[in-house]
Amino acid sequence: MTETGKPMQIRLAQPDITDVERKAVLDVLKTPTLAMGPQVRAFEKALASFAGVEHAIAANSGTSALHLAVRALGIGAGDEVITTPFSFVASSNCLLFERAKPVFVDIEPKTLCLDPDRVEGAITKSTRAILAVDVFGHPADWSELTRIAKKHGLILIEDSAESLGSKLWERPCGSFGDAAVFAFYPNKQITTGEGGVVLTNSEEIAKLCWSLVSQGRDESGAWLLHPRLGYNYRMDEMSAALGLAQLSRIGEIMAARTRVASWYKEALQKVEGVELPCVPAGVTISWFVYVVRLDPRFSASDRARVMKGLQNEGIGCRDYFQPIHLQPFYRILLGTKEGDFPITESIAQRTIALPFHNRLTQNEVRYVAEVLGELVASVGKV
């Protein structure tokens, strides 16, 4: 409570924007070039360097970037792609855009990422690729997924939309797949407002993405020459300038988010009935969100009561993620149903994303932890 007796108001997420970012955007507005200019190229170069890859192609959203990657890799009708049902829906939608079929495999219960031990059993003669997701910034098991992909001659797509700055055994996320993506929505580690990027070491894939992102134009840049079907997925100059400024502060931003995560760990580690995120050996997490789980004795309705209680106390929260295979149109399209992926379904009904951003104070984190602990204890007695 505040001194007035009213609940605190703690936002679920907010971007970390400073005068550095404001100046960068205003400087672009002083020029005549608001699109297809030097800021986008500079941002692409900086992102490629950050991820340790040869090429980066900026796009207007993470979804657009993932669609570009899928199309540039030649995935299409009749192809099956093994992927996770525990993700934001765009990771599977991008396959449907190209008329490929998502083939879901259940997740690993600690990391919440695609379980490599289940992947080989899902491979058929129609399998073309594996698309794994770094869930909540935690790297998927890219070492094992790479081994499986090479063994079976499959494409590996890395959805690192949530993991800019994360590492697996000191190798950066965004550098494992045949193509990878980052995303820059305002709740991500860095933001461009809306935006994304394709990352790859393949010059062929990069050239295709550069064409596809700009209406299918060829390398000559001729304005009305379109040798292939493309899209207007371009990032504008203001967004790229914002991203460049944010990326220049990435060390500061990641340190702030790590500090908030450590406060949550300290405040919640003794709260009965709440499970904290897993960070195994070899993993460096660039924190995207802070998602806890109620333990398995709690139901979805218990979780709903806890979330309602948090909201009543001014605490933003969200139920990350709803299983993709249980989304209404996936049920119709693929015939998926409850019980198909029990680990995903069990986790999904118990997750709660707590307020998480750079500007949270330790007192606010303690308040969230205190209220959460009281609510869980109360619901557990019902």
358, 15 Cβ separation under 8 angstroms: no
Mean pLDDT throughout 56-69? 98
For the segment 190-218, what is each residue's pLDDT rounded down to a tens digit?
999 999 999 999 999 999 999 999 999 98
Q: At which residue do the structure tokens 């992947």 appear? A: 119
Residue 45 has pLDDT above 90, yes or no: yes
* Tokens linked to 335: 């015939």
160, 166 Cβ separation under 8 angstroms: yes
Mean pLDDT throughout 87-112? 98
The SS3 of residue 53 is coil
Mean pLDDT throughout 145-171? 98
Distance CA 315, CA 367 (A): 9
Residue 4 has pLDDT above 60, yes or no: no
Residue 133 has pLDDT above 70, yes or no: yes
For the segment 162-199, what is each residue's pLDDT rounded down to a tens digit?
999 999 999 999 999 999 999 999 999 999 999 999 99
Mean pLDDT throughout 267-290? 97
Distance CA 130, CA 83 (A): 6
* Best CA proximity match to 173, nearest among 150, 136, 131, 140: 140
Asked if the domains at 19-248 and 250-381 fall in one CATH topology, the answer is no
Identify the band that residue 222 occupies on the pLDDT scale cut at 50, 70 and 90: confident
Backbone phi and psi for residue 199, each to the nearest 5 degrees, phi listed first: -120, 135
pLDDT on residue 274: 98
Domain boundaries, the chain: 19-248, 250-381
b/e sequence 53-71, b meaning 16+ C-beta within 10 Å? bebbbbbbbbbbbbbbbbb
How is domain 19-248 classified at the architecture level of CATH? 3-Layer(aba) Sandwich (3.40)
Choosing among 3.30.479.10, 3.30.460.10, 1.10.10.10, 3.90.1150.10, the CATH entry for 250-381 is 3.90.1150.10
Average per-residue pLDDT for the chain:
96
Backbone phi and psi for residue 367, each to the nearest 5 degrees, phi listed first: -65, -45
pLDDT on residue 5: 59
Distance CA 82, CA 357 (A): 32
Residue 135 has pLDDT above 60, yes or no: yes
